[in-house]
Amino acid sequence: MPGQWDARARAWLAEDPDADTRAELEALLAAGDDAALAARFGAHLEFGTAGLRGALGAGPNRINRAVIRRASAGLGRVIGGGRVVVGYDARHKSDVLAAEAAATLAGAGCEVLVLPRALPTPVLAFAVRHLACRAGVMITASHNPAGDNGFKVYLDDGAQIVAPTDAAIAAEMAAIEHLSTVPTSSSHTTVIDESIVEDYLAAIGVVTRPGPRDLSIVYTPLHGVGGDVALAALQRAGYEEVYPVAAQRDPDGRFPTAPFPNPEEPGVLDLALAHADRRGADIVLAHDPDADRLAVAVAGRRLSGDEVGWLIADHLLARPPAPGRSGRLVVTTIVSSTLLGRIADDAGAHCERTLTGFKWIVRPALAHPEWEFVLGYEEALGYAVCDAVRDKDGISAALVVAEMAATLKASGRTLLDRLDELDHRYGRHRSGQRAYRLPPPQQAVIMARVRTRPGATDLRPVADVVVIERGDDRVVFRPSGTEPKLKLYAECVDGDLDALLAEAAAWAGLG
């Protein structure tokens, strides 16, 4: 007897352009696996914090060639033609999905430029403006597990899309009744040369200043695409002692030593930390698989994203202001530390807070071109340190962190010493988070519960976020925009962070 989802699955199968996902569906239909079919056809992927992202597989609730074709056609219709640049990382099928996007965009009348090989997301984000494109597409799932992939979109300002563009693309996708009506083309598509990498490296080189370069660095790209570009950037900046973690040096979409290749996850940096210990290295720098995030460790301790953000802000705001600008700007998010505002005040800079995600962090900079954009950061290890890339960029951020560490080393200090000095100046700010893998219905129950807490500020309908403040203590709850997680953030000043996190989890009924 046919299952509930058989008809939808067979209709999808009839138009699926990929032999692998056709075979997957045929096997599920033959097995009568209605639960697996429901997971693929009972919902569809929606634009979230970073575009479309999900598990690879068949159906509208997975990432596959059919979904990428629909998304690319939707984008092509919204922008109405023009030049588009397409990039991809080294995840499973990223090259295949990028080719699908390129062919579909060309079929929509766009001139399509494709990056020469698997490259970091920041290179794609840079290329959008550098090549005068109407839009950019990056095939990546950033730091997600190996079985995921995604479709990330930028417009001509070099920033990630926000409303109403995302809704417009989604509407155009929904209007496509049959995939066979979507034209594709192999013409009007050009694979560009390596000069785009050279141009990117030259552009981000402006973040460095002359100074000490005596620094021993252990570096890992976590099996991602950051290795060649990051090592070239560090070498050009003058760092001669850079030691990659050999087991994680080359791109490998299986992520064999890091099943969850997010440098925030426990244990992910263990190989790098051990390598640094053996070498007596001064610092560990780690990128996630598409090199848009940066993790930093010193003396065996990984710094939090907030700590790195404070250090970068303190360092960059100590430089003279850029000539011809009426002010300086730093930006962070509502779930990141409040300390950035105090550092900015002392430097006479503007500080703004936005919703979570770099698609929002760059908006104040776009709104105030008269100000020098010094830093945008989020606690999830994302940093923008110059206007060349209007998104988080782990490679340019690594140059700034290396410069800080080398400068401090020349005076006999480390980044940890500098953090102690910031504690002395501003009070001991401590921030952290916990993430709970929960299905969306359970997340909704918990969010409803915390909305009833005393002191709760509900940010709906702007965002599904609840902020609870109590004196200098601050707690934020929000569902992740990229993974099935509920996230809890906390910050305290001269207090017990672990106790605050535990108390907040108890409020929510989380274990």
Instruction: Assess contact for 236 and 208: CB atoms under 8 A.
Output: no
**Count of beta carbons in the 10 Å neighbourhood of residue 221:** 29
**CA-CA distance, 411 to 379, in Å (whole number)?**
28
φ/ψ bin of 459: left (φ > 0), alpha (ψ from -120 to 50), beta (otherwise): alpha
* Helix ranges, 164-226 (H): 165-174, 195-204
Residue of 72, 94, 142, 216 marked active site: 142
Cis check for the bond before 256: say yes or no (omega within 30 of 0). Answer: no
Please check whether residue 49 is in contact with residue 359, taking contact to mean a CB–CB distance below 8 angstroms: yes
Nearest residue to 142 (alpha-carbon basis) of 44, 270, 234, 51: 51
Tell me if 297 sits within 8 A of 284, measured CB to CB: yes
How is residue 342 written in tokens? 């105090």
Give Cβ neighbours of residue 362 (< 8 Å, ≥ 6 apart). Answer: 159, 160, 331, 376, 384, 390, 391
Phi, psi at 242, each rounded to 5°: -120, 120
∠345-434-473 over CA atoms, to 5°?
Answer: 40
Residues 6 or more apart whose CB falls under 8 angstroms from that of 347 comprise: 317, 318, 328
Q: Is 142 a catalytic residue?
A: yes
Measure the CA–CA gap between 346 and 328, rounded to whole angstroms.
12
Query: Nearest to residue 30, comparing CAs of 41, 42, 22?
Result: 22
Cβ proximity of 339 and 429 under 8 Å: yes
Q: Is 26 helix (H, G, I), strand (E, B) or coil?
A: helix
- Cα–Cα distance, 271 to 280 (Å, whole number): 14
**Residues belonging to the active site:** 142
